[in-house]
Structure 1
Amino acid sequence: MPAGTYIWHDREIRFDTANKNLENRKGEYIIDNINSVEDTKGNNGDRGTLVATNLRILWISHKNPRFNLSIGFNTVLTITIKKAKSKLRGSIIKDNQLQLLPFEQVSNNIHDVWNLSSEQGNLGQFYITNCRVVWHANLAQNFNVSVPYMQIKSVREILSLFGIFSVNPIFGVDFVQEEDMPSLEQLKVARVDDDVEIVDDDTQMAFAAYYADGAEQTDREITFNEDIGLACESLPDGWTMQSLWKG
């Protein structure tokens, strides 16, 4: 059977099919189309166009037509229609500001709050007012939730999440360095050995006595010294052999 005559449109379900497969085949015509329809099963948060033909139902994403869905009527078992008022995607945020209700006042605004309702979690902003709590995602403001206090049954702290935070807590101490501080290796000074020799004062005084006396170019009288048992020059006034020996 030639490829152009094979009819699969009402018998198959195709995901992200080529654009040519989204076109109407011969004998197929559009019955109705609806804009801003969200595929909450496979493309949550992505709006698209829902097209109903006499053979199938098509859903095509507004942002990227490659994301699409073709459902043949022969594959449909049941169809359920119900009215629902979404509380998770209301227009409560405008220009990054919470749309306040009459007599409503914002008590606190907390940034970087995780919504762990899904497996991967979403980072967003948390508002506390006098009548409700509001959270919305940072990347998609239409992904939000508003919970009035009248509908809250209980509030509790999840200790496991607190334990994760306590591993690497933020103590609120912040500082800014005016200039880069040198490292410890840069502050080290190489050790240099001094060439200065430390001389005892007493020895220096004994030598000074000889040098000062030698400048006069005179010889003293030779006398026998009983302390050392030798003959030597007589000592200057104020000096003894014992003091010279100790010096």
Structure 2
Amino acid sequence: MEDDVAAAVDAYTDDTVGGAECCPKDREMHLISGEKIIDRLDNIEDTKGNGGDRGRLIITNLRVLWHSVANPRISLSIGYSSIITVNTKIVNSKLRGTTQALYMMTSSNGTRFEFIFTNLVPGNMRHFTSVTGVHKAYVSSKPYRELKLRGAVVHNKQLKILPLEQVFTTLHGVWNLSSDQGSPGTFFITNVRIVWFADMNEGFNISLPYLQIESIKVRESKFGKALVIVCNELSGGYILGFRIDPEEKLHLTYKEMSSLYSIYAANPIYGVEYKWRSNKEDEKSPAIITDDIEFEEIEEPRSEMSNTLTAYMADEGHAKDRPAVYSNDLGLAIESVKDGFTIQKLWEVIPS
């Protein structure tokens, strides 16, 4: 994969970049291959770092961006992997006064950073909804981006397929050459990763996304010609070897993997999917979205029951308490019901 794409993903997902020298026109603020803008909000204040400065918040599938509208050189880039917690906090904004804001605690290179973003539109918390929803989607889609050893990627000899994953080839009798003797197993090639597991123990497995691959080659080994996959430094720099017989199948597998690897490099799939309902009144009354579920406030029609209760409780002309009587319907003693009303009428959910 191209070095700039891999390095950019590392910076955007694992580090927090910020400061007055980072401009939206600079390379660090450009969207990389596969990065998508999910939400964009104006009138957002960076309350902690740039209080009193109106800015724009951009939420992508890899990070949160903010920059000042008046001075775009003042900007922030926060990768989701650097986020420890996302919450709300009551703050004192220079532009809004005391209000509820989005609060993020992050960590980068052993140093913790706090970020507070206030929506300057009264009553609008869409920035909190979008950031928390996309961050949740990012955390739950790690198999698309991270090397996994001995993970729960296989069940009953079958690959647990990811939502955006498509399996192209399944090879049986593939030897993992990580030990002196090698281990036979099953090899999967998909559009986002390669997976191998041992036939004798499916818990002995590896899931390697293309994002973490440095190179794919065919080399000589003490077991003969083998498919060699070199992982990048971010995933530990592992060198994985697989023997595929016969040799003709080895070369076909190499060509297929190289092709899929190139396609992925041109348009990476990070697995971060977030859907929300667009609304023309978003800025005034945003929809609350969690993943694929939409919640709407439904106005219940007023019923006869509410009018009955209102009239009864008003009790105009009430002078003294009415005598207590035993109610067979309720099984207890109650104040006698006013003339013109019945227990059934007062307790009906749907008026008859």
Q: TM-score, normalised by structure 1?
A: 0.33
Which has a greater percent of strand?
A: 2
TM-score, with structure 2 as normaliser: 0.24
Task: Tell me which of the two structures has the higher relative contact order, counting C-alpha pairs closer than 8 angstroms and 6 or more residues apart.
Answer: 2
Rg larger for = 1
